Chain A
Amino acid sequence: MRLSRYCRIIALVAALCLLPAAVLGQEFSQIKRNNNAPPKPSGPTPRTPDGHPDLTGVWNGLGDNLLGVPNQIANNGLAIESESVTRDLHSGASIATFPRNTNRPLNNEQAERAATLLRRVGSNRPIYKPEYWEMVKNLDANANEEDPSNNCMPAGIPRAGIPSYIGQFPNYFIFIYPGQGGLIATQTMYRMIPSDGRKHTPLQELDGTYTGEGIAHWEGDTLVVDTWGFNSNTWFDQLGGYFHSENMHVIERFHRDGNTLTWTATVEDPDVLVEPWTTTPRVALLNPKPGAMLPESQPCSERDLSHIVTKEHH
């Protein structure tokens, strides 16, 4: 009897001592991904008969996550590599990283405010001429009213980022950018980009458009799309108030490695920028389904703006 009670006490002590480990194990078993690293390439890089990499495909393999905070943080240049390591890819700085201190989900207000900060924490910022510093800051601060894409207008180039579909033909490319909801509400865009060796139309002969006049050529295995002839109705990144003039010149680079596509854009605008600015490289994943199709874009209908009473924004 005494022995039995002794055993129960020991068992109880053992159970209590091991409880934290058990709880911890349960928490970890629920975590599927704790980093925002871009997808690693796998598989061969297909080539067209003329020997160039074949970029054709539906490049939305990351699904909804493309517009999520983890991906936005990556676009802003921060690599959260683990539970304890975050790096700013532009400056190389180490960013303090902490475990979450609650398992409770944040309420909408907490999550939105945190997301706004997380999307802006990176160091890779375009350098405007000083006379525009206040303007950029104010555009960003008043983005609810000022963001030109908020009312279902085209995102423009390079804000649209990586096209969700690329069709590669011997003398031209087709890029499709489905309209987006969520972070920004924009309408569907497409571009038909010649790669037949033609030269740009002189800038002064072009009427500025949202997607400009893009012309493609290959530099080794990298597709370079050189575009000018824009209107000034867009911002050149998803946030930040980064306006531009009609003198903007954008050079995009696309490089396929297996099932991944890496994209960067360099923005030159001597009217407003002190120096060219290059985005942090972004990586898209090929849709793994062999018969992948782009779904129809939902009609864009902005109904929230008139109800917004504070300056909090995306």
Chain B
Amino acid sequence: MRTKTTVLILIVAATTACAVQSVSAQSSATLDRTKVLRAAADALGMARWSDIGAGATRLPAIDIVNTMEFSGSGTSYSSGQTLKTEYHAAVAYNPPAMRVEMTRAGSGGGASQHTIQTVRENFAWNESETGAGLVPGKGTATPAMDGLKERLLQLWTLPFGVVKAALAAGDKTTVSTESGSTVITFPLSGQLSGITLKATLDAQNFVTKVQTRPENAALANLAFETEYSGYRDHGEILTDIRSPGRIVRKQGGRTVLDIEVKMWEANNPYVVFPVPGNVKAAGADSR
């Protein structure tokens, strides 16, 4: 009798335990997305914590990427020509913003072109000098709302933007395997609604290719393919954040940007993007 009772208890325990295991296995399957995104974040060095002076406090890891700055040299395509280009970008994700400064060599010995294209949340503008339009007499800020989506797309297709946006998309993000590589696919949101982003990871979980696919013809100019390679810590101040050493962006099969990165400061540097008053007014008018 006692043996039978013991057996019964053990069977109940085993059944319960295996049921727990089954639930656990099921959540493991649904956790694949979580694992893949965490692996991608870890490859880039985004998920971090520190216990310095923390006493008994044990905080979780958080996404420590907010502002960045990088620069490089290479070529870009403009007005039917591929030109030597010096490229500099200041980036922020909270709030989302990007300032791209390019100096393109003049073709045939002509004057070089210098542009500063800036975007922040729902505003896009061009600056005659960095920070133009904020202080009277210091440059001109020209609203450029037509470029809003493309500029935001540049921000969110950077490797760090891809991981952030994929995490933010939650259940809409899917993970699959194509030709042996892990692929992350999700719809972009907000101003970029109607565009699907597909990112391919390499064996080290680095984002190596990002493709954007607009869902309708009106957004056809936002179909890009960007390749990233040569990841390492490119900062003068080392942060353990790995950034790409080469960026190649294509549109319709044509290379529109190809730069070798010289510097990528990931130390959350002081880069700011206040929206000039005239740009705010123009943005309000356009809505």
Nearest-Cβ distance from residue B142 to partner chain A, whole angstroms: 16
CB-defined contacts of B241 to chain A, threshold 8 Å: 117
CA distance A121 to B268 in the complex (A): 6
- Secondary structure dominating the interface of B: loop
For the complex, count residues of A whose C-beta is within 8 A of B. Answer: 81
The 0/1 profile, CB within 8 Å of B marked 1, for residues 87-127 of chain A is 01001011111111100011000111111111011110101
CB-defined contacts of A121 to chain B, threshold 8 Å: 62-66, 94, 268
Q: Is the CB of B60 closer than 8 A to any CB of chain A?
A: yes
Q: How many pairs, one residue from A and one from B, have CB atoms within 8 Å of each other in the complex? A: 221
Which A20-49 residues have C-beta < 8 A from chain B?
20-21, 30-36
Given B17, B20, B94, which contacts A91 in the complex, CB threshold below 8 Å? B94
Known: A10-B14, A121-B62. A141 touches B269 (CB 8 A): yes
Binds A, one of B44-52, B75-83, B222-230, B248-256: B44-52
Known: A98-B61, A113-B238. A274 touches B274 (CB 8 A): yes
Given A105, A129, A140, which contacts B135 in the complex, CB threshold below 8 Å? A129
CA distance A84 to B63 in the complex (A): 11
CB-defined contacts of B190 to chain A, threshold 8 Å: none
Which B126-167 residues have C-beta < 8 A from chain A?
129-132, 134-135, 138-139, 164, 167
CA distance A111 to B50 in the complex (A): 5
CB-defined contacts of B110 to chain A, threshold 8 Å: none
Q: Is the CB of B6 closer than 8 A to any CB of chain A?
A: yes
CB-defined contacts of A310 to chain B, threshold 8 Å: 237-238
Known: A34-B58, A116-B267, A313-B237. A64 touches B53 (CB 8 A): yes
Nearest-Cβ distance from residue A106 to partner chain B, whole angstroms: 7
Q: Is the CB of A293 closer than 8 A to any CB of chain B?
A: no
Nearest-Cβ distance from residue A91 to partner chain B, whole angstroms: 6
A80→B59 contact, CB < 8 A: yes
Beyond the given pairs A112-B52, A114-B48, A141-B267, 18 more chain A to chain B contacts, judged by CB atoms under 8 angstroms and listed by A's residue number, are A10-B11, A13-B18, A14-B13, A31-B58, A36-B57, A84-B60, A95-B63, A101-B38, A120-B267, A121-B62, A121-B94, A123-B95, A127-B274, A128-B272, A130-B134, A130-B135, A274-B274, A312-B237
> Can you list 12 contacts pairing A with B, beta carbon distance less than 8 Å?
A10-B10, A32-B58, A69-B52, A78-B62, A95-B62, A112-B52, A114-B50, A117-B48, A117-B64, A130-B130, A133-B270, A241-B270
| Residues in A lying within 8 Å of B, measured CB to CB | 3, 6-7, 10-11, 13-14, 16-18, 20-21, 30-36, 63-65, 67-73, 78, 80, 82-84, 86, 88, 91, 93-101, 105-106, 110-118, 120-123, 125, 127-131, 133, 136-137, 140-141, 182-183, 240-241, 274, 310-313
Rank and list the top 7 A-B pairs by shortest CB-CB distance, nearest first: A130-B131, A68-B53, A17-B17, A120-B268, A96-B63, A32-B56, A115-B50
